[in-house]
Amino acid sequence: MTTTSQEELFRFLEDRFACAQACTECARACATRASLVDPDGTENQELVRRKGILCAEVCDATCRVLSEQNQVDEATIRIQVEWCRQVCLESAHVFDEHPGAERTAEACRACARACTEFLTTLN
């Protein structure tokens, strides 16, 4: 293995781990945010709750896909990570409109950035 290919492998593994870690943190933040919203609240609160649940589930699934060694092909990983990136960005926009959800919005943006960086590694 050449030095360049070793460096590429290390970068791939580091970016994959960083993405999985960001997904875990985002899932936790979104699940917490969703649990804090009154299920019988306003339409806006219901949107925040639904986005929080969806984002937590997608991030959790993405983390599982990234954690599976060689059991998932690259195309499946790419699709899952891109889906996660999109859901995180959409969720961040919803959380921006909800007072007190700033940290959750930032966790979503951090996860989207990590997904983008990992997707770049795959190219």
Q: How far apart are CA 66 and CA 39, in angstroms?
A: 32
Distance from C-alpha of 74 to C-alpha of 100, rounded to nearest angstrom: 37
List C-alpha distances in Å: 13 to 10, 46, 58, 91, 109.
Answer: 5, 38, 21, 27, 21
- At residue 61 the predicted structure's pLDDT band, cuts being 50, 70 and 90, is very high
Statement: residue 119 has pLDDT above 90: yes
> Would you call 120 exposed, middle or buried from its count of C-beta atoms within 10 A (0-12, 13-18, 19+)?
exposed
pLDDT at 1: 52
Q: What pLDDT score does 2 carry?
A: 58
Average pLDDT over residues 74-79: 91
The dihedral sign for the CA sequence 60, 24, 87, 47: positive
Cα dihedral 106, 24, 112, 33 sign: negative
**For a pLDDT cut of 90, what percent of the chain falls above it?**
69
Question: Tokens 């926009």 correspond to what residue?
Answer: 93
Distance CA 92, CA 9 (A): 31
| Predicted local confidence at residue 22, as pLDDT | 96
pLDDT for the residue 10: 85
CA angle 24/76/65 to nearest 5° reads 25
Is 40 or 33 the better-scoring residue by pLDDT?
33
- pLDDT of 64 reads 93
pLDDT 10s digits, 84-111: 999 999 999 999 999 999 999 999 999 9
**What's the rounded mean pLDDT across residues 56-71?**
89
Rg (CA), the chain: 16
Would the pLDDT of 4 be above 70?
Answer: no
